Chains A and B, each alone.
Chain A
Amino acid sequence: MAQFLQFALSGVTVGAIYGLVALGFTLIYNASEVVNFAQGEFVMLGGMTTVFLTLVGVPLAVAAPAAVIITVAAGLALHRFAIETARGATPVILIIITIGASIFLRGLAQVVFDKRFHSLPPLFGSDPIHLADASILPQSLVVLAGAGVVVILLGTFTGRTLFGKALIATASNRLAALLVGIDTRRIVGFSFAVSAAIGAVAGILITPITLTSYDVGTLLALKGFAAAMLGGIGSAVGAVVGGLLVGLMEAFAAGYVSSAYKDAVAFLVILAVLFARPQGLFGAAKPERV
């Protein structure tokens, strides 16, 4: 029983990480139907920039917001120079462009930063919290709380503000949104900026647990994408729930089946979702005009 509890807590730790990464996919997808595969690199940039600023002597409280701002700038640059210049292309082409951008950012990170692994100090110390016979790191709870805060903020933004409603309008029908006077370019650019911010915050919060290096983005993006697909891409709540589910499945697979096949879980999830329920758990089934 204690084992089960520990696996569950480990799953929640990893799942919160995936959920926070998955949240970054939702906003850009909502605004433009593009899955931004450079999202993992935003997470990497957040963590690595903070680490390097602290190494140069900047206090953590200043380095973290500075890293978020730098990542937002990267997100805006990605939108302006890669997505905007391919204006009018189909979402598939834009997705491939984001894959290229992720490779570029990874290469840039190798040159600007370095190729080693780095860590950040956890916010509330590294003494684990003990529940019955199991333990969880306080940083994992911070990651969960961070994911919760982002979900609430996103929900308030899209539901209550005019700009947020314009974003939803752009997502459902770009032409109609243009016709009613919404500047769709600004909307999409804004969504990249906010997704970059979410990614950067995720990177800063998870680095004390997972360590960071120039290429953590790849695997994180894939698992975050699996989580987003499971929860229903486009749904913020779905992203977090999907992340937790993927994390729990990985932890139970590693504990009860075999640790060697742990990574396969995320990819099996993608396949299962695509076969059985492509819109995910919380996504609305898209009606098709016949």
Chain B
Amino acid sequence: MKPWQASFGAIGAVALMLISAGAWSAEVKIGAVLSVTGPASFLGDPEKRTLEIYVADINAKGGVNGDKLKLIVYDDGGDANNARTFATRLIEEDDVFAMVGGTTTGSTLAMIPAFEDAHIPFISLAGAIQIIDPVRKWVFKTPHTDRMACEKIFADLKRRNLTTVAMISGTDGFGKSMRDQCVAVAPKAGITIAHEESYGPRDSDMTPQLTNIKSTPGVQAVVNPGFGQGPAIVTRNYRQLGIALPLYQSHGVASKEFIELAGPAAEGVRLPAAALLVADKLDASDPQKPIVMNYARTYREKTSQAVSTFGGHAYDGLMILVQAMQRAGSADRAKVRDEIEKTKGYIGTGGIVNMTPADHMGLDLTAFRMLEIRNGDWALVSDGGS
């Protein structure tokens, strides 16, 4: 070909490379593998919406360190195998900078090895304590652990002098994990577990198991670790069988959908949950109040749906990551990871976060509030117990 064509081609190629390289470096990719559909959909759907709303919001205000954020969401349908596949895709094909996701304990545990090997910061949105205990260098989490839920429930039971309990747990990752934690912390909390039952996450009738619990002598209260539709059906069956004992749920049902599905049976059920659910009932001096009111209002305006604590966990995860990126000042994964670990005094929807190298969650028991369902809505149980 003619000489001028060759040099023109060379200049064009170099220009193209420079342009594409320039465009590429102005964007920071955040991956999110969430359970938008399936049995954990009322956790994953608010998480997805929250991430989308706030990534758009951050980009509209100029992005982070001058770079725009690009959110890549994959739906694992509540299946840990799918989650693992999507994690590999995020790492190898999409080359994400960091990951905020992992709706369920099962999917998070499946994805942890992938992100640890690839040295990518992973902020999980799942509940079980195994995610951060043992501490892994690149893995953090925002929701309260199942152990904290057990401790909070047992403290409330002890205060009401109800020390003999029965447990009915889901066989999903979170249900099993929380059941194990409750069994582990019960002796120290002064609680005796008199009887245990379990149910599959897709079961539609738990009356046989509840009948066994009802006929166990000495049981004073029932605790139900689990999430999804299972606890809603357990609650309905509980009232159907006329069991008058107090029923405690986990923070896995901290969403209006639970109240809708369980219907009038949900009256009087207690559960530990983030302050977000009772945002307007918080004391004016509560440091969390401005954050949770703001998030609740934004979420309600943008999605026309009631606020959910799971969306709140996603909000906290994103903000902790973004603030760490701002403190690090550059898109360097190791530096940002160090900054995430140094998060101190971050006031979020879940509580006030103070992380350390040994504690990659940073919440303590005060971050949990004990709620009771009254008249189809959440009510704050005061520290005095009513």
**Which of the 9-residue segments A29-37, A144-152, A163-171, A256-264 touches chain B?**
A256-264
Is B134 part of the binding interface, using a Cβ–Cβ cutoff of 8 Å? no
- With A116-B42, A262-B200 already in contact, the answer to whether A126 and B205 are too (CB < 8 A) is no
- Grouping DSSP codes into helix (H, G, I), strand (E, B) and loop, the A interface class, with mixed when no group exceeds half, is helix
CA A238 – CA B239 in complex, angstroms? 33
Partner of A262, one of B37, B41, B203, B261: B203
- Structural contact, B215 and A3, CB atoms closer than 8 A: yes
- With A3-B211, A115-B37, A119-B263 already in contact, the answer to whether A209 and B257 are too (CB < 8 A) is no
Is B241 part of the binding interface, using a Cβ–Cβ cutoff of 8 Å? yes
- With A6-B208, A10-B208, A128-B241 already in contact, the answer to whether A211 and B232 are too (CB < 8 A) is yes
Residue of B nearest to A215 (CB): B38
Per-residue B-contact encoding for A99-125, CB less than 8 Å = 1, 0 else = 000000000001000011101000000
Is A254 part of the binding interface, using a Cβ–Cβ cutoff of 8 Å? yes
Is A158 part of the binding interface, using a Cβ–Cβ cutoff of 8 Å? no
Is A235 part of the binding interface, using a Cβ–Cβ cutoff of 8 Å? no
Residue of B nearest to A8 (CB): B208
Is B209 part of the binding interface, using a Cβ–Cβ cutoff of 8 Å? yes
Residue of B nearest to A210 (CB): B204
Q: Which residues of A contact B140 (CB under 8 A)?
A: none
- Grouping DSSP codes into helix (H, G, I), strand (E, B) and loop, the B interface class, with mixed when no group exceeds half, is helix
Residue of B nearest to A261 (CB): B200
Is A7 part of the binding interface, using a Cβ–Cβ cutoff of 8 Å? yes
Q: Which residues of A contact B326 (CB under 8 A)?
A: none
Q: Which residues of B contact A215 (CB under 8 A)?
A: 38
- With A126-B264, A211-B233, A263-B200 already in contact, the answer to whether A13 and B205 are too (CB < 8 A) is yes
Is A96 part of the binding interface, using a Cβ–Cβ cutoff of 8 Å? no
Q: Which residues of B contact A219 (CB under 8 A)?
A: 202
Q: Which residues of B contact A200 (CB under 8 A)?
A: none
- Structural contact, A117 and B229, CB atoms closer than 8 A: yes
Is B242 part of the binding interface, using a Cβ–Cβ cutoff of 8 Å? yes
Interface residues on B, range: 35 or more
| Residue of A2, A13, A209, A259 with most chain B CB atoms under a 10 A cut-off | A259
CA A151 – CA B261 in complex, angstroms? 31
CA A210 – CA B236 in complex, angstroms? 10
Q: Which residues of B contact A130 (CB under 8 A)?
A: 242
Residue of A nearest to B264 (CB): A126
Q: Which residues of B contact A10 (CB under 8 A)?
A: 205, 207-208, 211
A183-212 at interface with B (beta carbon < 8 Å): 209-211
Q: Considering only CB atoms and an 8 Å cut-off, how many residues of chain A contact the other chain?
A: 35
- Structural contact, B204 and A110, CB atoms closer than 8 A: no
CA A164 – CA B65 in complex, angstroms? 75
Is A14 part of the binding interface, using a Cβ–Cβ cutoff of 8 Å? yes
Per-residue A-contact encoding for B161-181, CB less than 8 Å = 1, 0 else = 000000000010000000000
CA A260 – CA B263 in complex, angstroms? 26
Q: Which residues of B contact A251 (CB under 8 A)?
A: 205, 207-208
Q: Closest CB-CB distance, A139 to chain B, in whole Å?
A: 10
Partner of A211, one of B197, B204, B206: B204
Is B86 part of the binding interface, using a Cβ–Cβ cutoff of 8 Å? no
CA A126 – CA B233 in complex, angstroms? 13
- With A128-B240, A255-B211, A259-B199 already in contact, the answer to whether A117 and B232 are too (CB < 8 A) is yes
- With A3-B215, A115-B45, A211-B233 already in contact, the answer to whether A135 and B240 are too (CB < 8 A) is yes
Per-residue A-contact encoding for B217-237, CB less than 8 Å = 1, 0 else = 000000000001100110010
Q: Which residues of B contact A214 (CB under 8 A)?
A: 37
- Structural contact, B211 and A7, CB atoms closer than 8 A: yes
B225-278 at interface with A (beta carbon < 8 Å): 228-229, 232-233, 236, 239-242, 257, 260-261, 263-265
**Closest 6 pairs between A and B when the two form their complex, measured CB to CB:** A255-B208, A210-B204, A115-B37, A10-B207, A254-B208, A6-B211
Binding site for A on B (CB under 8 A): 36-38, 41-42, 45, 171, 197-200, 202-209, 211-212, 215, 228-229, 232-233, 236, 239-242, 257, 260-261, 263-265
Binding site for B on A (CB under 8 A): 2-3, 6-7, 9-10, 13-14, 17, 110, 115-117, 119, 126, 128, 130, 134-135, 137, 209-211, 213-215, 219, 251-252, 254-255, 259-260, 262-263
Q: Report 9 cross-chain contacts, Cβ distance below 8 Å, ordered by A residue.
A: A116-B42, A116-B257, A135-B241, A211-B204, A215-B38, A251-B205, A255-B212, A259-B209, A263-B200
Query: Given A10-B205, A135-B240, 9 more contacts at CB 8 Å?
Result: A6-B241, A13-B205, A115-B38, A117-B229, A117-B257, A210-B204, A251-B207, A255-B208, A255-B209
